[in-house]
Structure 1
């Protein structure tokens, strides 16, 4: 591809994505549908500006990888264990019942071999991880009952992709793979997964501490990317998907003090690459083929969407979800997903799937994914009208469950920040701290404090540690510029959050109050008060008069003391 052609494709992709995502978001349909339409327009079946959609989709798949990593980092192993009944119960039941029903229908209606019917049934039973999780994230529903049920089903489906791909050659009757080979392959996969978990537990935290010690945001971000892609590559060599490897990497970091900073660094890559992924899916829609196979494609959608919705809604009710929640879960996961593309292509190469069915199936899957926003909107319309008794399988996530929220957030965990934390903990007030110095983070966690690595001047970090729910932010950083940046960030993004800051002197204190600090404590003035008070006690001053004087001098951000000591006042 020439340089000019590459620039043309890039400009077309960016322009189409921005325009379509903006228009569809304003229409209330969400950006995902906009990306799909943009991909269909600029792809080979539309204007033909992008001639190789496979290359775009391949790059875009990294968006799914980063999405699974961020989901993993939010889901601590203990919570995953709590969800085991949903993952292995509801998820397995959905695959078995939906896959079997679709396989039987494919066998009778499409006149294919039993092996091809199994592949078609299993492929269409899989849902779109990218669509499902993105919709849940955009709606902030991952912590809801139906969000957790949907995630559990998607996770089980992703786990099932590996054995499904391994069985395809056997279904095709290929002599190059035996059941012994399959067993050895699964054993190799288990060894690599175990090795990654063990290695991650032993060296990952130390490696992050070493990298963080460089005090370079670029190096830390680069290491985060290396971690996600490296573990994903290891899992891919073991037969798992890169997305599952990234999910595993996220789980390894879920209890780490570095999780928030890593999460914030990865977020921009996820959003950009997911947009590319959805555009790649749009490019897979063969507009010419739609007219040639319109009845077959319409028939596939007419069977798959209602059947998956019905089966999953019944199963979700059986697993304890309320009627409305069960319907939302079923409608969100009614489409087939991105792994169906992989499974169908692999089955075609191994002679399991008839070539004539490949293109219609791919188009049906892509169109089903495009219909997801409308299915979700239907759930929003119908679900509130449904009522029924249910016992949730697991309690929903709340901020108190997450362990990363507290009434008081401390920015900076040096000598001042640690002192503030000790006072609060002694009085029974929950608090947590964030600091960019990995040694401060290590020392604090070693001593039992809740300290996380992160840049407090970034709104995403403050949001991640619960600044929106906190009652107070205490900024104890010893760098004046960092203090001002953090204060400005807090005032701009969390205007209702009071901020108390540490200041060098009276003039700095006055400037910080002018920037919006509720309280600015100057180190020099406070130390002078302490020394003056001790001197007064030594001189046998009246204790009540001394206490009243100290209260007066501290009142209104030390204005009384500033008038006496600061000649500029």
Structure 2
């Protein structure tokens, strides 16, 4: 309100060309300056330009500085009013400058992403390979393990920065939607033997499992679940095996804490294994109630239980097998 009341419309009309010139110099100058500083500090060019456009308008402190300069006799009231107009108009342009930066970023990103899309000719020689859907931390670990064993794989992700990381390591990582039939076809899903699904959101994991189950039923799908309900939904969508994303990391963290408490290594291992077996046994009971295997390898365990009672040794072996899966 204060800024608006200080603007003189007559001054804007009478000095329109001067105000336009100063306004252009302010926005262009600050954009170039911030872009240069961003590049010096390692920010990408397009990101630096976006930041420059968003910081190009003048700030509220200018009004305080101009008012004080007038009181000190450093600026004339007429020049101060002119600068008030320039800063006020530049602030009003902020949403359009931000939108312009977003538009430029989307154009550059679309151009960059084209080179990251999968090309069918690049994967037509793959056979019985693994598809990694999601190249985040978990997907990168899986890719490293497969690379060390010379097992062929191809990875997909919708984040271009992750794809760029994989490409920098000379890995077959492509940009694409894991739930798209066309994209899955381009990475040779009809010839793949398995898929490791490690996407960031439960919904994305579900879409990927559903698409593979519907269009490429030959692919065994191994997916992480956020919780039991999510695991049940994933299995209903066609997942071969569902792995809880919190169980093993939690047990490893607990083992580290117990070691700090000076417990013997053998006692720590026994405690961790006991909790794991109890947790999986509870899930087994839940599976028997709901008629779902949750993909932990319990299909085999439950079929065995129908033929003979499980001994403690059998249960341990079955759980180990499930964890191996």
Which of structures 1 and 2 has the larger relative contact order (alpha carbons within 8 angstroms, sep 6+)? 1
More helix by share: 1
Q: TM-score, normalised by structure 2?
A: 0.47
